[in-house]
Amino acid sequence: MLRLLTALALVLAPGLALAAQPILLKPARVWTAEDAGPPHEGWSVLVKDGRIAAVGPAAGIDATGAEIVELPGATVIPGLMDLHSHLFLHPYNETLWDDQVLKESPTYRTLRAAVQAKATLDAGFTTLRDLGTEGVGTADVPLKKAIDEGLIPGPRLFVATKAIVATGAYGPARRNYNPEAELPQGAQEASGVPEVIKAVREQAGVGADWIKVYADYRVGPDGSTQPTFSLEELKALVETAHSSGRPVSAHASSDEGMRRAVLAGVDTIEHGYGGSEATFKLMAEKGVIFFPTLTAVESTSTYFGGYVAGKTPPTAAMRNAERAFKLAVKAGVTIGMGSDVGVFRHGDNARELVWLVREGLTPAQALLAATAVDAKVLGRSNDLGQLKPGYLADIVAVTGDPTQSIEATRTVVLVIKDGRIARRP
């Protein structure tokens, strides 16, 4: 698989050569993500040897020998993060999820993921947590390696390889096909504590940075979302993952699935559309981070629910997502930025930021979710997510001021990752 990714390097990576000299960015303003305050007018950022060498008033920075990059009217911010992504999927209105898993070859999906990684980086997202390959096994591990080694352009990846699901609980759902057929599944199945422990160890062994578990899914006799693992199974999964130094992300849309996952000690909850006030309060008490994936609901409502933005009222699913989000904010749950991109087009990740603001966060709060908060979730708050001397030089410039209008995050003019210019004005 790595050879396939290597073959893309000459086509995709002409702009990723390591800068031979320091770079001085001279925008209209700089937002450092140290807090939710306004950006600093007249500041500059000096990049040297892959890291931020200085941030502050332009007159106080010694930029001798540096390449000067003028960014009139732009705001420089830390590289954005999306901690719920699926690079191996593409929008369901192009190809249904089942058809991607059943009909698209792993080779095709991996090649496509590489192209989608470049689109993500070009859009200003320099770090992703990819939460499952959805039927392409452990292909995210060589994809990550190819990006890390500079063979292809893309964001820094934290990968989960195969998500872990209860036997018979995921898809493609066997009840929808010939029950005697051997259908490939989009995740690794497990039942009982021994199998759950084994699955965690297998995913850790092949290179997973995170363990992803589905605490519930559409397994009810009527297709309703129901818990899939017992609390005992989830506790064993979390204990095994944590003892190996790996955090746990839980897909959970039902209140009971969320409650069990939180009690088991997971680190993040994804979706949470059915969460109750009590469960969100429990999340706040336990310090579990919430990724509401609002854009995923909008997208599926558009594809399959008849929703037309600006013309029809929100669907029931969208109203549930809004209700849950507001309960989480009220309860004091920390909100991270994770969009479930792959359900919608890669490179449009900033749509989630727009939704976060639409549902009640300030633009600065949404930006913090996609920078400093997400960096803390990854355990990298000491070198990512803020513009500080010594931090890795992941930097984005956008037109206008995103702390005033979050839509500015969709007009990226410059992207720097690890001190390398990936996209120029």
Cα 380 versus chain centre, distance: 15
pLDDT digit string, tens, across residues 150-163: 999 999 999 999 99
pTM score of the predicted model: 0.94
pLDDT computed for residue 292 by the predictor = 98
> What is the rounded distance in angstroms from the CA atom of residue 425 to the CA atom of residue 401?
17
pLDDT computed for residue 1 by the predictor = 56
The label of the residue with tokens 């200085």 reads 54
**Cβ distance 396 to 126 under 8 Å?**
yes
**Rounded to the nearest 5 degrees, what angle is found at the Cα of 55, between the Cα atoms of 49 and 56?**
150
Three-class DSSP category at 272: coil
Side-chain half-sphere CA neighbours of 67 within 13 A: 14
**DSSP for 305-343, written as a single string:** S---TTTSPPPHHHHHHHHHHHHHHHHTPPBP----BTS
The label of the residue with tokens 């997510």 reads 385
* Low pLDDT (below 70) residues in the chain: 1-20
Tell me how crowded residue 50 is: count the other CB atoms within 10 A of its CB.
Answer: 15
Measured in degrees and rounded to the nearest 5, phi and psi for residue 239 equal -60, -40
pLDDT computed for residue 179 by the predictor = 81
Beta strands in 153-210 (DSSP E): 156-159, 164-166, 188-190
> What is the rounded distance in angstroms from the CA atom of residue 401 to the CA atom of residue 403?
5
pLDDT digit string, tens, across residues 197-227: 999 999 999 999 999 999 999 999 999 999 9
pLDDT computed for residue 4 by the predictor = 54
Q: Which residues contact 245 (CB under 8 A, 6 or more apart)?
A: none
